[in-house]
């Protein structure tokens, strides 16, 4: 059955409602360095670095704002991240060893001794640490990410130099220096969150011997979080490349080199609540400009490593939600992201929409950036909100930021000084022009305050003050402050203050039911949403007192704010007796069931109570099957199937109810759901008997037809196949074709396979792909498809390179040998020979219009370009800045430089079906592959026979079999022309 969640990858008309199951595989330096822009060097005029004063003059930003120097070389060099401890000292992670030096990583400690806003004292807090990527204060020391470890360093004698060093967590994979663990941030919930970086790992806390102890936690394709005091580590939602940030209300935002802002909508801990939930999406892209928004650099392209202006995000990093008060309310809560390749900082305004947000350019920045520079050495890689409430910019300041591993030109890799400028580095602060030169009078030495004096700071307008106060109160195990904290939780003047008070009470174990109830009834939706999260432990324990909390949470299923309702849907998964949740879940399904995020949350929370929920919808709410959206309908079938076993009595009672009430549509839907789980019942015959006539009835309701088509596979093949042949034609609606394709794929015998083969030429591209995948994925049908090709019944050129490769792997030796002769053999010449053969065509006059046709025909099933296509392989929007020879090499030799997360997996189910694709996401219970065409295949781990890493790109070698040298030159010309869509 087509999964309801597969729609979650399809952009809406604005190109925006996309879930994070896509994995752009072009490697990028956690903060910048990208495959999609590694161009060959051409003669470029010499470029000299500017002094800090000159660099500031080269910057452009809002006239009402000013940028000030906080620190520069030699005080700081190669900075990539900053944080401040509770004394107000700044700590800087310096990656002086980038890109591949044996030494040079450092942690610096900077202090402003005279209070003028400029750092004037520095010590090397820790020397010779390999590729540090982020820093975060913890207790009286600093946490540092430096793969394979997260270490804690501390100065015990006050000399500004760390003299204690402890490895807390280890097991992070030491991938390319760009793609390592990073982005430590502290959440309102007391957990510390980290960014994967795209190198994954099997991580865990260390034992007394410094080695990993206990069972490691796999963070493949996911981020993580941990509690150092309790030595707990677990996966977290999202999959981040470099940099992440919380907003004031606990919403987490992440980034990717080509996608500058995503929102973690759903945390992994909820997915783990329901072992039957075959979903793994956790984050959504936010830009209303689509997946590849434009950027507007002002730097000269002739002074860059790349030959042309990118014009799009290709090196996005250092995302932060500005949470200070220094720039005024007009900037608070807005998103800022660095684009170092284009020498700029981008800004987005966030607006809530459904369970997530939309990110839009500010009205005054439609064709310009928040901050941009004409200085091509300006390399902003990170941002932070400081103790003074201002926005800080971390400038790596180098000539080149590319990593040589991803540079295709061998001569360039060997001759360019990739570390040129490693003696430089700057940190800036953005302030209102009216305050330029005057430091904000915010307290910075919070460590010197008594605990009672920290409590009022929980309501401070600057998030650094609030977060530091909360951290210190918790680390001190402060006592005797419950009354003051409860007062703040009930009546703090800003919702941020009420949330911090609630969070602090919870961590100090002083949160009362009365205080929590007040939070659940707060006037601000952000407080109500956070209070629902805090209520989860009480949902899991039965008591009269807790029942009041349960009732209050369930009442919020009618909340006016969508994000509160979504949080209720997630948190109800914690109910100790889940059948109690049928009524609020049914309300949420009826109101928000067209939101795929809500459906995912409801799936998680409908654990063990699917019969009660279906009864509530069908009987108590009298919801008609015909009135359900396609997503709601498919979701119900899948939920019923997930709980077919173990609820036989409840399902039978519901079946009798439907029969006595004449609810035949619900009866057939129930039959399909149970049959999908292979839970056959004697009464199925009656439901299936009418399927044939309904399936082909054009006047029947769409959902009734889909149910009937789903039931056709349970008829005798001779009865079902004629109807399915009729449905697998272009004149049928796409949904009808898709369901018919799935039904015929599950009918045994050669006749059904023959229907599939004939239908390939008559159906839509998506259905065509599904038919071919089914034929190739089953060994007997692969053999039949091969015979059709050999006999001339089926054209060999209907298969793309990846399909040919997989088909050959499924055949017996004799058929493989025969079919190989039908295909132009791959690997008949070395890749370099093929590239050399095709290269001369690049000098000819290309036909860009023809190139566009070829992109549509051969590329868009796996690649995305300027709003068109599917994001399975690399986003091709930005390749306009690459040389034609580099693009040619990547096309004809796809395994030359593909990152680990861009290499494919083969998954074999216990029933023998084979799937091939990229790992799009994983949970404790399922694996999701992303296949060509953007199709998702979620498989429960209990159904997996084998999951094998191929080590190869999903794009096979042999593209030259499909395109002549001239046509490939036309295609490359189209990809390089950014003005043609």
For 294, which DSSP code? B
314 or 379: which leads in pLDDT: 379
- Checking if the pLDDT of 903 tops 80, the result is no
pLDDT of 8 > 50? The answer is no
Give the pair of three-digit tokens for residue 764.
């839509």
* 729 within a domain of the structure (yes/no): no
What integer is the mean pLDDT of 103-130?
94
pLDDT at 236 over 90: yes
**What is the rounded distance in angstroms from the CA atom of residue 6 to the CA atom of residue 13?**
17
Q: What is the pLDDT of residues 549-575, one digit of tens each?
A: 999 999 999 999 999 999 999 999 999
Residue 828 has pLDDT above 70, yes or no: no
The pLDDT-based confidence of 825 (bands split at 50, 70, 90) is: very low
How, if at all, do strands 283-285 and 18-19 pair? antiparallel
DSSP letter for each residue of 786-800: HHHHHTTSS-GGGS-
The number of beta carbons lying within 10 Å of the beta carbon of residue 103 is: 11
Q: Give the pLDDT mean for 616-634.
A: 90
Give the pLDDT of residue 176. Answer: 79
DSSP code, position 405? G
Question: For the domain that residue 277 is a member of, what is the CATH number?
Answer: 2.120.10.30
Q: Which of 132, 42, 67 lies closest to 344 in space, CA to CA?
A: 67
The mean pLDDT of 582-598, rounded to a whole number, is 94
Q: Over 50: is that where the pLDDT of 85 sits?
A: yes
Residue environment code for 70-102, b if the CB has 16+ CB neighbours within 10 A, otherwise e: bbbbebbbbbbbbbbbbebbbbbbbbbbbbebe
* pLDDT tens by residue, 644-685: 887 888 998 999 999 899 899 999 999 999 988 876 666 777
423-467 pLDDT, tens per residue? 999 999 999 998 877 766 677 899 999 999 999 999 999 999 999
Residue 924 makes CB contacts below 8 A (sequence gap 6+) with 271, 272, 275, 941
- Can you give the residue range of the structural domain that contains 28? 18-435
pLDDT classification of 972: cutoffs 50, 70, 90: confident
The answer to whether residue 7 is domain-embedded is no
| Structural domain includes residue 314 | yes
Arithmetic mean of pLDDT, 213-235: 95
Phi/psi of residue 801, nearest 5 degrees: -60, -45
Q: Tokens in use for 806?
A: 């997989």
Which residue has better confidence, 473 or 542? 473
Quick one: pLDDT at residue 36?
34
Q: Comparing 23 with 257, which gets the higher pLDDT?
A: 257
Closest CA to 172 of 185, 162, 163, 182: 182
User: How far is the C-alpha of 242 from the C-alpha of 381, rounded, in Å?
Assistant: 9
Residue 377, Cβ neighbours under 10 Å: how many?
A: 25
Q: Which of 32, 5, 182, 74 is nearest to 422 (CA)?
A: 74
Is residue 465 assigned to a domain? no
- 589 within some domain: no
Predicted confidence at residue 676, as pLDDT, reads 83
Q: How far apart are CA 141 and CA 637, in angstroms?
A: 53
Tell whether 964 is covered by a domain. yes
pTM over cut 0.95: no
- Residue after which a domain boundary falls, among 406, 435, 464: 435
Question: What is the reported pLDDT for 424?
Answer: 97
Q: How confident is the model at residue 304 (pLDDT cuts 50, 70, 90)?
A: very low
- What pLDDT score does 751 carry? 94
Position 205 pLDDT exceeds 60: yes
- Residue identified by tokens 């926005």 is 391
Alpha-helical (H) ranges within 253-400 are 268-271
Q: What's the token pair of residue 21? A: 């199951």
* pLDDT over 60 (residue 38): no
Among residues 401, 420, 435, the one where a domain terminates is 435
Distance CA 836, CA 947 (A): 36
Q: How far apart are CA 330 and CA 406, in angstroms?
A: 40
Whether 13 has a pLDDT exceeding 50, the answer reads: no
Which pLDDT score is estimated for 308?
A: 40
Q: Which residue has the higher pLDDT, 144 or 968?
A: 144
So what's the pLDDT on residue 22?
A: 34
- pLDDT range class, residue 743, cuts 50, 70, 90: very high
Q: Is residue 302 pLDDT above 50, yes or no?
A: no
* pLDDT confidence of residue 11: 32
pLDDT at 593: 92
Banded model confidence at residue 949, pLDDT cuts 50, 70, 90: low
CATH of the domain at 866: 2.30.30.100
pLDDT of residue 3: 56
pLDDT at 27 exceeding the cut of 60: no
Query: By percentage, how much of the chain surpasses pLDDT 70?
Result: 88
Which pair of tokens denotes residue 634? Answer: 């498919």
Torsion of CA 545, 551, 553, 559, to 10 degrees: -150
The per-residue pLDDT for range 312-361, each reduced to its tens digit, is 888 899 999 999 999 999 999 999 999 999 999 999 999 999 999 999 99
pLDDT in tens, 841-894: 777 888 888 878 888 888 887 888 776 778 777 777 767 667 787 788 888 888
Last-in-domain residue among 403, 419, 435: 435
CA-to-CA dists, residue 789 to 784, 796, 824, 958, angstroms? 9, 6, 14, 19
Question: Could you give the CA distance from residue 976 to residue 605 in angstroms, rounded to a whole number?
Answer: 47
pLDDT of residue 682: 67
Asked, for residue 926, whether it belongs to a domain, the answer is: yes
In a domain? residue 5:
no
Residue 797 exposed, middle or buried by CB count within 10 Å (0-12, 13-18, 19+): exposed
* Angle separating helix axes 702-712 and 664-676, nearest 10 degrees: 40
The whole-angstrom separation of Cα 932 and Cα 918 is 9
Q: Is 60 exceeded by the pLDDT of residue 274? A: yes
Number of domains in the chain: 2
């Amino acid at each position: 059955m087509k999964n309801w969640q597969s729609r979650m990858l399809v952009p809406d008309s604005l190109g925006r409602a996309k879930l994070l199951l896509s994995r752009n595989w072009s490697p990028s330096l956690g903060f910048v360095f990208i495959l999609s822009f590694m161009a060959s060097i051409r003669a470029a005029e010499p470029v000299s670095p500017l002094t800090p004063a000159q660099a500031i003059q080269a910057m452009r930003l809002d006239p009402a704002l000013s940028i000030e120097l906080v620190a520069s070389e030699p005080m700081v060099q190669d900075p990539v991240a900053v944080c401040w401890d509770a004394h107000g000292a700044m700590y800087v992670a310096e990656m002086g060893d980038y890109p591949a030096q044996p030494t040079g990583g450092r942690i610096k400690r900077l202090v402003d001794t005279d209070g003028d806003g400029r750092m004037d004292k520095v010590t090397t807090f820790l020397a010779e640490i390999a590729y540090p990527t982020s820093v975060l204060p913890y207790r009286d020391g600093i946490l540092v990410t430096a793969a394979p470890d997260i270490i804690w360093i501390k100065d015990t004698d006050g000399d500004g130099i760390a003299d204690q060093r402890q490895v807390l967590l280890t097991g992070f994979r030491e991938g390319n220096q760009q793609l390592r663990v990073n982005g430590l941030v502290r959440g309102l919930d007391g957990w510390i969150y980290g960014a994967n970086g795209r190198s994954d790992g099997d991580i865990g806390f260390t034992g007394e011997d410094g080695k990993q102890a206990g069972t490691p936690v796999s963070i493949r394709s996911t981020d993580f979080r941990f509690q150092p005091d309790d030595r707990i580590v677990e996966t977290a939602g999202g999959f981040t490349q470099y940099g992440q940030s919380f907003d004031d209300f606990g919403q987490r935002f992440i980034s990717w080199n080509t996608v500058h802002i995503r929102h973690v909508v759903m945390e992994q801990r909820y997915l783990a609540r329901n072992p039957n939930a075959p979903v793994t999406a956790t984050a959504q892209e936010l830009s209303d400009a689509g997946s590849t928004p434009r950027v507007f650099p002002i730097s000269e392209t002739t002074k860059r490593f790349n030959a042309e202006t990118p014009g799009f995000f290709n090196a996005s990093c250092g995302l932060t939600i500005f949470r200070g008060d220094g720039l005024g309310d007009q900037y608070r809560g807005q998103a800022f992201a660095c684009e170092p390749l284009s020498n700029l900082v981008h800004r987005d305004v966030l607006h809530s929409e459904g369970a997530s947000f939309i990110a839009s350019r500010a009205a005054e920045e439609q064709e310009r950036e928040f901050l941009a520079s004409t200085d091509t050495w300006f390399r902003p890689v990170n941002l932070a909100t400081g103790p003074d409430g201002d926005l800080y910019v971390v400038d790596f300041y180098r000539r080149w930021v590319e990593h040589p591993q991803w540079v295709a030109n061998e001569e360039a890799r060997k001759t360019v000084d990739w570390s040129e400028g490693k003696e430089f580095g700057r940190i800036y602060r953005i302030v209102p022009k009216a305050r330029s030169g005057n430091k904000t009078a915010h307290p910075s030495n919070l460590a010197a305050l008594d605990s009672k004096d920290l409590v009022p700071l929980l309501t401070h307008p600057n998030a650094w003050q609030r977060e530091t106060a909360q951290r210190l109160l918790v680390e001190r195990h402060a006592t005797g402050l419950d009354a003051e904290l409860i007062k703040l939780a009930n009546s703090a003047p800003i919702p941020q203050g009420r949330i911090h008070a609630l969070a602090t009470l919870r961590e100090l174990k002083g949160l009362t039911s009365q205080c929590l109830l007040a939070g659940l009834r707060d006037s601000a939706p952000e407080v109500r949403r956070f209070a629902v999260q805090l209520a989860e432990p009480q949902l899991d324990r039965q008591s009269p007192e807790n029942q009041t909390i349960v009732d209050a949470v369930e009442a919020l299923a009618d909340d006016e704010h969508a994000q509160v309702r979504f949080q209720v849907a997630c948190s109800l998964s914690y109910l100790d007796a889940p059948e109690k949740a049928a009524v609020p879940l049914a309300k949420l399904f009826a109101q928000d069931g067209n939101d795929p995020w809500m459906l995912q949350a409801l799936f998680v929370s409908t654990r063990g109570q699917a019969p009660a929920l279906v009864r509530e919808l069908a009987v108590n709410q009298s919801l008609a099957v015909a009135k359900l959206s396609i997503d709601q309908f498919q979701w119900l079938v899948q939920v019923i199937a997930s709980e077919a076993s173990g609820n036989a009595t409840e399902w039978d009672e519901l079946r009798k109810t439907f029969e006595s009430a004449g609810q035949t549509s619900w009866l057939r839907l129930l039959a399909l759901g149970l049959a999908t789980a292979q839970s056959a019942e004697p009464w199925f015959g009656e439901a299936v008997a009418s399927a044939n006539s309904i399936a082909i009835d054009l006047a029947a309701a769409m959902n009734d037809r889909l149910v009937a088509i789903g039931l056709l596979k349970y008829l005798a093949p001779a009865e079902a196949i004629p109807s399915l042949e009729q449905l697998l034609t272009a004149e049928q609606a796409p949904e009808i074709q898709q369901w018919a394709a799935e039904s015929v794929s599950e009918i045994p015998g050669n006749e059904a396979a023959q229907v599939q083969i004939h239908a390939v030429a008559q159906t839509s591209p998506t259905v065509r792909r599904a038919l071919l995948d089914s034929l190739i994925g089953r060994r007997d049908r692969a053999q039949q498809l091969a015979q059709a090709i050999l006999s001339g019944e089926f054209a060999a050129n209907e298969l793309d390179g990846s399909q040919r490769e997989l088909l050959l792997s499924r055949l017996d030796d004799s058929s493989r040998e025969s079919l190989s002769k039908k295909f132009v053999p791959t690997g008949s010449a070395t890749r370099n020979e093929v590239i050399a053969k095709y290269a001369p065509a690049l000098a000819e006059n290309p036909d860009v219009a023809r190139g566009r046709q070829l992109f549509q025909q051969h590329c868009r099933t796996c690649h995305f370009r300027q709003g068109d296509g599917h994001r399975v392989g690399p986003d091709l929007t930005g390749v306009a800045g690459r040389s034609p020879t580099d693009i040619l090499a990547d096309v004809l030799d796809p395994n030359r430089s593909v990152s680990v997360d861009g290499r494919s997996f083969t998954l074999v189910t216990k029933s023998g079906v084979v799937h091939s694709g990229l790992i799009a996401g994983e949970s404790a219970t399922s694996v999701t592959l992303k296949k060509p065409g953007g199709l998702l295949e979620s498989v429960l781990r209990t159904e997996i026979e084998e999951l094998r890493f191929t080590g190869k790109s999903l794009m096979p070698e042999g593209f030259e079999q499909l395109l002549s040298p001239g046509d490939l030159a036309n295609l490359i010309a189209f990809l390089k022309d950014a003005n043609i869509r």
